[in-house]
């Protein structure tokens, strides 16, 4: 796996690729931060990693509302279904876990949706931050609730806090 770090207004992000597809995007610091495993090789020339960094820059600058990248998240069949559903949540909108469960034809699986959401390996691009609690509460986010709030504010899904 090839990796590189990239800056963002919310802190450094770690990007990883199999060479052709993006496999990982997480914040380098925070509750679920990881260190690149020893077998990963740092490579800032990998085209998909460079393109990811450029698209993230445009997103954080408010110039991009969606991403056009080859993705290869690894997970169970159900997790991948949840992640595909997350990508369909429009920019600036939020859904509750139960809505995703209903859209998947499993209305009682909202907890399983939450668990799959928590295992999302490609944060921001697979927009797990757009899932909120049934009552509109901001609930768990691997990068921390403050980052989730700031991502939703950037997208206009939440009023900007002062």
d(CA 125, CA 84): 11
Dihedral (C-alpha) 141, 120, 159, 58: value to the nearest 10 degrees?
130
Is 128 a catalytic site residue? yes
Dihedral (C-alpha) 98, 101, 102, 106: value to the nearest 10 degrees?
-130
Q: Which of 29, 24, 41, 20 is nearest to 143 (CA)?
A: 29
Q: Single out the catalytic residue among 128, 131, 152, 157.
A: 128
Could you give the 3-state DSSP secondary structure of residue 95?
Answer: strand
Active site (catalytic) residues: 128
């Amino acid at each position: 796996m090839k990796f590189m770090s990239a800056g963002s207004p919310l802190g450094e992000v770690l990007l990883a690729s199999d060479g052709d597809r993006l496999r990982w995007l997480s914040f380098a610091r925070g509750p679920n931060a990881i260190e690149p495993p020893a077998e990963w090789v740092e490579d800032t020339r990998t085209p998909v990693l460079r393109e990811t960094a450029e698209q993230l820059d445009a997103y954080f600058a408010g110039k991009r509302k969606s991403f056009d990248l080859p993705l290869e998240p690894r997970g169970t069949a159900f997790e991948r279904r949840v992640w595909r559903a997350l990508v369909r949540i429009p920019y600036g909108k939020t859904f509750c876990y139960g809505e995703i469960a209903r859209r998947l034809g499993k209305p009682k699986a909202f907890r399983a949706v939450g668990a799959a959401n928590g295992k999302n390996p490609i944060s921001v691009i697979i927009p797990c931050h757009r899932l909120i609690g049934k009552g509109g509460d901001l609930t768990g986010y691997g990068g921390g609730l403050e980052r989730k709030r700031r991502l939703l504010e950037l997208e206009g899904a939440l009023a900007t806090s002062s």
